[in-house]
Structure 1
C-alpha cells in the first residue's frame, strides 16, 4: 500500500504541475524573454508580443490538459489499488510517459496559433 501511495503522488505531480504552471503562464508570464524558463521556441521568442501570446495560449492549454489528465490518472491508479508493486510501478511509469507525451504535443497547437496570429518576423497579422 505504501508504494501505491508513493506512485499515486508521483503520477499526480505531472498534471498538477501542468495546471500550476499553466495558471502561472496565464497570469504572470516571465517578464523577460530568456533561454531558461518559459515557453521557449524560436517563434515565441521573436518579441514581447509573441512571448506573451505564447505563454497565455500555452498556459490555457496546459490548465485544460492538466485537469483532463487528472481524471484518467486517478481512475487507472484506483484499478491498481492492492496490486503487486511491480504492476503498480509499471503502469505508473506508463502513465507518466503518456502524460509527458501530452505535454510535448501541446507545442503543436501553440506554434500553430502563433503562426496564425503573427508573421515570420513576429509582427501581428491583421
Structure 2
C-alpha cells in the first residue's frame, strides 16, 4: 500500500515537471482557447500569452522538482499514516500550484499592466 500511495503522491509533481518542460520550450504561435495558461490577462495579446505560458512552464518545472523531493520525504516520514499523510501532501501540492498562478498573474500585471 505504501508504494502505491507514494506513486500517487508523485503524480502532481511529475505532471508539473513534464508540463513545465513542454511550456518552456513550446512555440505558441497563437492563443489556444483549450490548452495552456488561460486567464484574461494571459489571453489579452499574443505576447502576454507566450510570456505567461513560458513563465508558468518555468515555475512548474522548478516547483515540480521541489514538490517531488518534499513529497518523498513526507511520505517516508508519514509511512505509518500514509493514507492521511497523502491528504496533507496533496493539499500542500495544490497550494503550491495555486501559488504559481499568483506569481504568473503578478508578473503579467507588472509587465503588461491591468
Q: TM-score, normalised by structure 2?
A: 0.91
Q: Which of these two proteins has the greater Rg computed from alpha carbons?
A: 1
Aligned length: 114
Matched, 1:88 2:86: no
Please list every run of 5 or more consecutive structure 1 residues that lacks an aligned counterpart in the other structure. 121-126
Matched, 1:112 2:106: yes
Cα distance between partner residues in 2 of 1:58 and 1:29: 14
Q: TM-score, normalised by structure 1?
A: 0.83
Moved over 4 A (4+): none
Higher helix share: 2
Please list every run of 5 or more consecutive structure 2 residues that lacks an aligned counterpart in the other structure. none
CA RMSD of aligned residues (A): 1.4
Cα distance between partner residues in 2 of 1:45 and 1:89: 40
